[in-house]
Amino acid sequence: MSPVASPESVRRHNLSLLLRLLHQSGAMSRSDIGTALGMTRSTIGELVADLGARGLVLAGDRVRLGSPGRPSLVVRPNPEGAVAVTADISVNSLSAAVVGLGGRILHLDRVAHRPRRLAFEQTVEDILELIKSAQASIPAHSWIAGLGIALPAVVRRADGLVHFAPNLGWRDVRLGELVADRVGSGLPVLIANDADLGAVAEHTWGAGVGASHLIYVSSDVGVGGGLVIDGRPLVGAAGCAGEVGHVQVNPMGVRCRCGAIGCWETEIGGPALLRRAGSAEKGYQPEAVARLLREAAWGDPVALPAVEEVGRWLGVGLGGLINVFNPQRVVLGGYLSTMWPLVEHIVQAELRVRVMAPALETVEIRPAQLGAEATLQGAAELALTRLLDDPTLAPAVEGRSAYAFVRGAQEPKAQPTPQAASQTGPGPRVLTERRAG
Ligand SMILES: [Zn+2]
């Protein structure tokens, strides 16, 4: 901010700091907010009142903190105050969701791809149908930030052009323009790589919280990656940074869907695991991978060596990435999160012979926490960014206040009950889900 910033821009900046803090951390007492932002009690009170009038936060439930004194009012993000519509186009399924402030999933539809409908035009029809029903579920009083779409592809973020989606078989398709035309109503449409968005979600609410330098690697059909450097997602000059699945690890390996030989994806992707176990599955079946991991956990003489071999290649690839990026944390998503306990000792052994000591000492590897919804939540983060940067985009309603929503907000209470704590706690919660047969 410039030293001559106007009072309005200072206020907007402070509103942004407060809304972002609550969006990431969930419910907080006003005194903890004051400590986190270095602001006075009265400044926090004014900012909460402003965000409350815009419907973006709720206040209530006083909590008595460790020290004696007045109980402090708890403030939390209002999930229905501002929402994003999000969609996830993956090789096996299509999903659409409504995600509110705080990453709360308010509506979720996930359906298997209809048989032989992976072609671009058909997929767009199918995903638009899901998006329409997601939009219909949004409460009338919610402010809609935009539509965020995730897919396993190299995407130009400026206009949502999909350069290349090897596992969907798409090349140079104008997904962003087409969806924006069909959805209409001037809603911003933002499109990004699914693993980049998974990284953002895990960094904001999951296994990556608190890590300024993070590598996220997710494996299902393909292998995707996302990087957070100095607290910010690494996008790259052409928007396709983080394509770790296509780093060559094995020059003597097999041909990848991208055309190259021995990409990391051909060694640690789901199909590679099935191939090593001699599975006769045609194509990629998530259920077959889950079954194989269960068999390996029991010590099955075919499944276990296949999993261990994938673990070795996981260590080979991670070693290179850790040497280049020196992350604090590596988060493993997709089937790698389930596989991690079986291969941790193998991966660590590979890292010990590959990674420079200071980098090895700093890094911690954790399975992802958010599950299959991470990409939908990351897509929401993409769409909500403009509001988080400038909360005044959401209009204030005269007479509305953060306190009006909560019964008994004026009544000091002791510690919140476990039930109340679970309702107001940070992190996403799935409210509805439908799975089509
Ligand atoms: Zn490749």
User: pLDDT (tens digit, 9 = 90+) per residue, 95-154?
Assistant: 999 999 999 999 999 998 766 667 899 999 999 999 999 999 999 999 999 999 999 999
Ligand 1 center from residue 175 Cα (angstroms): 22
Rounded to whole angstroms, the Cα distance separating 388 from 382 reads 10
Burial of 234 by CB count in 10 Å (0-12 exposed, 13-18 middle, 19+ buried)? middle
Model confidence pLDDT, tens digit, residues 203-213? 999 999 999 99
Per-residue confidence (pLDDT) for residue 229, from 0 to 100: 95
Ligand 1 center from residue 163 Cα (angstroms): 15
Per-residue confidence (pLDDT) for residue 422, from 0 to 100: 36
Model confidence pLDDT, tens digit, residues 332-341? 999 999 999 9
Ligand 1 center from residue 264 Cα (angstroms): 7
Ligand 1 ion: nearby residues, β-carbon < 5 Å: 246, 256, 258, 260, 263
Q: Phi-psi category of 338—alpha, beta or left, where left has phi over 0 and alpha has psi -120 to 50?
A: alpha
Model confidence pLDDT, tens digit, residues 284-293? 778 899 999 9
Ligand 1 center from residue 246 Cα (angstroms): 4
Instruction: Write the CATH number of the domain with boundaries 210-369.
Output: 3.30.420.40
Ligand 1 center from residue 74 Cα (angstroms): 49
Per-residue confidence (pLDDT) for residue 176, from 0 to 100: 94
Higher pLDDT, residue 17 or 31: 17
Ligand 1 center from residue 379 Cα (angstroms): 24
> Mean pLDDT across the stretch 345-359?
97
Ligand 1 center from residue 257 Cα (angstroms): 6
Which one is the CATH code of 82-197+373-387: 3.30.420.40, 3.90.950.20, 3.20.19.10, 3.40.50.300?
3.30.420.40
Per-residue confidence (pLDDT) for residue 240, from 0 to 100: 81
pTM: 0.86
Per-residue confidence (pLDDT) for residue 429, from 0 to 100: 37
Ligand 1 center from residue 266 Cα (angstroms): 7
Ligand 1 center from residue 436 Cα (angstroms): 32
Provide the pLDDT confidence category of residue 92 given band limits of 50, 70 and 90: confident
Rounded to whole angstroms, the Cα distance separating 126 from 16 reads 36
The reply to whether 210-369 shares the fold of 82-197+373-387 is: yes
Per-residue confidence (pLDDT) for residue 431, from 0 to 100: 37
> What proportion of the chain, given as a percentage, has pLDDT over 90?
71
Ligand 1 center from residue 340 Cα (angstroms): 23
Higher pLDDT, residue 120 or 428: 120
Assess whether pLDDT exceeds 90 at residue 48. Answer: yes
Q: Could you tell me the residue ranges of all domains in the chain?
A: 7-80+394-424, 82-197+373-387, 210-369
Ligand 1 center from residue 252 Cα (angstroms): 14
Q: What does DSSP say about strands 214-219 and 189-193: parallel, antiparallel, or unpaired?
A: unpaired
Per-residue confidence (pLDDT) for residue 202, from 0 to 100: 96
Model confidence pLDDT, tens digit, residues 379-399? 999 999 999 999 999 999 877
CATH-assigned architecture of domain 7-80+394-424: Orthogonal Bundle (1.10)
